[in-house]
Structure 1
Amino acid sequence: MNKFVKTLKNIFSIEELRGRIFYTLCFLAIFRLGSYIVLPGVDPSALTESSGGMLGMLNLFLGGAFTRASIFALGIMPYISASIVIQLLGMAVPYFQRMQKEGESGRKRINQITRVLTIVITLAQGSGYLYSTIPNEAIVINQSLFYPAAMIILTAGTVFCMWLGEKITEKGIGNGISMLIMIGIISSFPTAIIQEFQTQGFSILLVVELVALFFIVMGVVLLNAAVRKVPVQYARQVVGAGGKKRTLATGQRSYIPLKVNAANVMPIIFAQSLMFLPSLIAGVWADESDTARWVMQNFSDYTSFAYNATFATMILLFTYFYTAITINPDQMAEDLKRNNAFVPNVKPGEETSGFISWILDRITLPSAIYLAVVAILPAFASMLGVSSAFSRFYGGTSLIIMVGVILDTLQQIESYLLMQNYDSMMKSGNIKGRQNVATV
């Protein structure tokens, strides 16, 4: 406890870090306030609550703004969709690949294209949201005036959320876009745990649920931070070869950290976005076919065996697919060769690429199984009697996003603390230099 208090004191003793935390809290407060401002011309009492599926997941990410028909009803999700599209184009289209290699100028152009695509996606998603989610009885003004005005407001709200995310990244702490998603998820946690307490009461069952949640979170933290270290040896280099005395700098040993969960949460997002298709397609023939009715019934229930088996299988496939398109062993082997580095006992070039691919194939399988298990844990929790609102925190996309964002934020805070300690040691003169060269 004393160490925790000391760490807090150290955090708030650094002026820059204290200012960044303050800016982050202010920007997050603005985001949460906007999620409660309802679109002009909408009667909040006539709105219906989204129960599950993609709408329920979107509402969870947006902290309830989706079902409240707020000005931030779409939040940052169109920007996320645009970023995923640009990322996939960067892996397949040579034009975007060239921009990625152009350094800062290329990143600026990609960011500009992403912003424009965000507006286009917002207009498409906004029209679908207004016409399919907001009932006519909730609109209290002329509908011919409401829809154009609401489209402009929703688009402006998404652009403002995108600006908030960029400002958090620039002036705050952590990744701004991820912070906005995380705060939307966490905002529903107090309500969910209060509802669970009202349902279960202060009983052994509630204690068991909280203990199980704790160990699940710890497991996700461990697996999310797990890496496979590939050892790398840098070749020795001659320094001062033109003088009378030459020195040979000893080669350094390092490693390539290959994340076990390299795909992160993307396979779950891809699989979740496709899981509504079977019930949607089967609904066309539901009146004519028993099979179609069975598919529609089972794939509309996220606790059914068919739904979870299909969901887990798709996650396994998407994990291998996304890892394959995001990590290029050939490029990694080429970069090592260009920097005079090599993997011990492995020849540079093609053999190094094959060795890295061999490792990736073996660490991707446990990663895929882990993602599949985490994704279906909320269904098991719900079947065991946990309320639907509270069971969402037992796994799935929300838990992985929260753990990832919190870990990244803590790493940034730790880097500030290490820098502060380094500056203190430099001023006190406690650091001694050490040469790592051999005379030849």
Structure 2
Amino acid sequence: MFTAFARAFKTPDLRKKLLFTLGIIVIYRLGAHIPAPGVDYTKVQQCIDQADSGGLLGLMQMFSGGALLQITIFALGIMPYITASIILQLLTVVIPRLEALKKEGQSGTAKITQYTRYLTVALAVLQGTGLVATARSGALFQNCTVGDQIVADKSVFTTIIMVITMTAGTAAVMWLGELITDRGIGNGMSILMFISIAATFPGALWAIKESGKLADGWIEFGTVILIGFVMVGLVVFVEQAQRRIPVQYAKRMIGRRSYGGTSTYIPLKVNQAGVIPVIFASSLLYIPALIVQFSNSKAGWATWITDNFVQQNEPIYMAAYFLLIVFFAFFYVAISFNPDEVADNMKKYGGFIPGIRAGRPTAEYLSYVLNRITWPGSLYLALIALVPTMALAGFGGANANFPFGGTSILIIVGVGLETVKQIESQLQQRNYEGFLR
């Protein structure tokens, strides 16, 4: 990885792209520390150390790079864009118009991207309104005595200005990501996501060291670092694992020329769903706690939810989290990979899997293989997501601050591998150009 970056800095064109990307990252991190208008920054700092950032709130805090609880202009981060992208991807399976656009190639993809932008702005308005309302009521920092004084001016005008500012901040983040994609090293939104998560690591690690009791916290600190290295190695191993289905294309004569006769393969990843099942499961499990929080009910069902679904180390919460991740892994793979469509395309271009008849038998074979490899992939996702709770059960309340959680490690490793591949492909392309010259 470091070798690829060193070689890239020696190439003038790539060096410009890398420096441009670093400049955009600096702007993004500066925006994550500028308070939104109407926010009392001093009182926010008084409450920030007491905040319980678990559940969906912790997920949004992670994707915003710590800007959410700071209530900055980039407080929403890229979470609205991620949500909009997932919604559009799910709707593509349901709405025929979107499915037709997806098949149109580059023009259809551009149209879907435009719809994603519109939906991102709409979601930013909704999430910004919810964040401002929560901050005004004092519910954002429930354990803080001055939590209801964070937004001193509770007028409608101030609320509208705060929502507009956060929505504009989300649009700016989306624009910065697209700039990295167009003029930087590519994968703009993924890189901003990577930076957001990595920015929370130093503070989280130091908080674990400060809360530790063995050798002034250095034993706990070293244990967490060791667990992190083991998890990174495991994630890299599984993320690179794939089942390659061999495909043979028959020769075809068109005029005096023969086409085909080549062999290739269909790569089916063990973790075909990526980090999406973890995000879905986290969001869904936060809904019961959210209902209890806004209903203020003291009934038996509300007490049961508070006892079992608010704290992440509860056995019922962990079991539900595990099962939901496994379910959503199969669900997402089912809607993102269509064996019938792949089999039809292979049949159309004269391709076949050796030993399997073209058409329906090929689709059934692909579905069988996909189900077989999705089982270990889903179990791996569930275990990785539960590591913070299981590994730090005895570390005294550090679970929520554990930096090497499943979602963060999956995203960081995935984006890191993809970025290195992108740089190496551009280096290889320039080597070919130099050879041709």
- TM-score over 0.5 for the pair: yes
- Equivalent in the alignment of 1:114: 116
Q: Which residue of 1 aligns with 2:344?
A: 334
Call closer, same or farther: CA 1:117–1:343 in 2, change over 3 Å: same
Residue 65 of structure 1 and its aligned partner are, at CA, apart by 0.8
From 53, 62, 65, the equivalent of 1:63 is: 65
> What residue in structure 1 maps to residue 268 of structure 2?
258
Q: For the structure 1 residues 387 and 184, does the alpha-carbon distance in structure 2 shift closer, same or farther, using more than 3 Å as the test?
A: farther
SS at match of 1:170: helix
Of the three residues 23, 26, 32, the one matched with 1:35 is 32
Tell whether the 8 Å contact from 1:192 to 1:389 is kept in structure 2 after alignment.
no
Give the structure 1 partner of residue 238 of structure 2. Answer: 223
AA at the equivalent of 1:226:
A
1:37-436 matches, within 5 Å, as 37-47=34-44, 48-49=47-48, 50-51=51-52, 52-134=54-136, 135=138, 136-141=148-153, 143-200=155-212, 201=216, 203-238=218-253, 241=256, 251-281=261-291, 287-289=298-300, 292-385=302-395, 388=398, 392-427=402-437
Give the letter aligned to residue 232 of structure 2. Answer: V
Contact 1:196 1:386 in 2 (8 A): no
Name the larger-Rg structure.
1
Q: Deviations over 1:21-71 (max 9, x none)?
A: 111111111010001110122111223334122112211211111111101
> Which residue identity lines up with residue 150 of structure 1 in the other structure?
M
Give the 4+ runs in structure 1 shifted more than 6 A.
none
Q: Secondary structure at the match of 2:86?
A: helix
Structure 1 counterpart of 2:221, one-letter code: L
Corresponding residue of 1:435: none
How far, CA to CA, are the matches of 2:260 and 2:60 in structure 1?
54
Query: How much does 1:285 deviate?
Result: 8.9
Tell me the TM-score normalized by structure 2: 0.90
Q: Distance in 2 between matches of 1:280 and 1:125?
A: 14
Post-superposition offset of 1:390 = 7.9
Distance 1:6 1:316, change over 3 A: closer
In 2, Cα distance between the equivalents of 1:6 and 1:57? 33
Q: 1:396 deviation in Å?
A: 2.1
Find the residue that maps to 1:410 and give its secondary structure: helix
What is the alpha-carbon distance in structure 2 between the residues aligned to residue 103 and residue 82 of structure 1? Answer: 20
Paired letter, 2:106: E
Go from structure 1 to structure 2 and tell me whether the alpha carbon gap of 1:103 and 1:157 turns closer, same or farther (over 3 Å shift): same
Aligned residue-pair number: 418
Local SS of the residue matching 1:231: strand
* Structure 1 counterpart of 2:15: 18
Matched residue of 1:255: which SS? strand
Structure 1: 5+ residue stretches without partners: 242-246, 428-440
Q: Are the equivalent residues in 1 in contact too, given 2:339–2:363 (CA < 8 A)?
A: yes
Bigger mean CA deviation after superposition, 5-14 or 225-234: 5-14
Q: TM-score, normalised on structure 1? A: 0.89
SS in 1 for 2:403: helix
Distance (whole Å) between structure 1 residues aligned to residue 284 and residue 341 of structure 2: 31
Alpha-carbon separation, structure 2, partners of 1:190 and 1:66: 17
Q: Residue by residue, what CA displacement relative to the aligned partner does 1:371-413 show, whole Å, maximum 9, x if unpaired?
A: 1001111111220317637853333211111111111101101
Structure 2: gaps of 5 or more residues: 139-147
- How has the CA–CA distance of structure 1 residues 277 and 142 changed in structure 2, closer, same or farther, with 3 Å as cutoff? closer
